[in-house]
Amino acid sequence: MKKVAFVFLLLLISFGVADKLSARSLKSTEEKFEVDNHQEYSIKQAIELAYPSALKWDGNAHLLHAVNIDLEDNNEKFIGSKGKKYWNISFGVPDTNKFFLVTIYKGEIERINDVTNIDDSPYPEKEFIALEDIHYDSHQLLKKALKLGIVKPGKDWAKGYSFMIRKDSQTNVPLLFVIGWNKEQTEMRSAVFSASTGEYVKPDL
């Protein structure tokens, strides 16, 4: 899963220090996940909150990916058991290079930015995630990841558990990554699931 960890790190670097970003109602057949007292949001809640700003930016906006960023409070030990405080939610317009970033902190939209780069290639439609295809949330799939024993909570950097969702354009499956560390805290690891079926996706060896 080194490739997955690399992708996650790349997203953290590219989004975490970039301009920060703000939904259309995201319906789910799953149980409602309530925000806890620490204002940690699940990945679906973060997407739901961000979507109205994206649609205001462009009525044809679609979800590209979402990732939490490691800007949490240092005195909290196991952040991410229910959700995350900081999220970057990215949107685009299919077959164009238009790109929009929403940053959420403690359940509020902290910043929104059009970060379109005219030199970027257009984003193909197959890379976008349809909201109706997301049937499983981050906290639900974390439970499955813990049962599998794949990830442990981070103690220093990327504390607790982290989450990312993106589309596998080859299989047309929206993938939700539960990211943590090995027992020794020396290497990032991830458990990958289909956000549509909740099925564990075994890594390619």
Is 127's pLDDT higher than 70? yes
Domain assignment present for residue 56? The answer is: yes
Least confident span in 53-67, 126-140, 148-162: 148-162
Q: How confident is the model at residue 69 (pLDDT cuts 50, 70, 90)?
A: confident
Q: How confident is the model at residue 1 (pLDDT cuts 50, 70, 90)?
A: very low
Q: What is the DSSP string of 46-115?
A: HHHHHHHHHHHH-TT-EEEEEEE-S---TT-SSTTSS-BSEEEEEEE-TTS--EEEEEEETTEEEEEEE-
Domain assignment present for residue 199? The answer is: no
Least confident span in 1-10, 123-132, 154-163: 1-10
Q: What average pLDDT does this structure show over 29-46?
A: 62
Using only C-alpha atoms, what is the Rg of the chain? 16
Is 39's pLDDT higher than 50? yes
Least confident span in 10-14, 142-146, 170-174: 10-14
Domain assignment present for residue 177? The answer is: yes
Is 16's pLDDT higher than 50? no
Domain assignment present for residue 71? The answer is: yes
Number of domains in the chain: 1
Domain assignment present for residue 162? The answer is: yes
Q: Which domain holds residue 159?
A: 2-194
Q: What percent of the chain is modeled with pLDDT above 70?
A: 73
CB neighbour list of residue 96: distance below 8 Å, 6 or more residues apart: 122, 123
Domain assignment present for residue 37? The answer is: yes
C-alpha distances in angstroms, 171 versus 95, 125, 128, 174, 204? 19, 14, 13, 9, 13
Phi, psi of 119 (to 5 degrees): -85, -10
Is 75's pLDDT higher than 70? no
Environment class of 111 (CB within 10 Å of its CB; exposed 0-12, middle 13-18, buried 19+) = middle
Domain assignment present for residue 202? The answer is: no
Using one digit for the tens of pLDDT, what is the confidence trace for 140-157? Answer: 999 999 999 989 988 877
Using one digit for the tens of pLDDT, what is the confidence trace for 76-124? Answer: 544 555 556 789 999 999 999 999 999 998 889 999 999 999 899 999 9
In 3-state terms, what secondary structure has residue 139? Answer: helix
Domain assignment present for residue 73? The answer is: yes
Rounded Cα–Cα distance for residues 136 and 26 (Å): 12
Find the length of the chain: 205
CB neighbour list of residue 114: distance below 8 Å, 6 or more residues apart: 57, 98, 99, 100
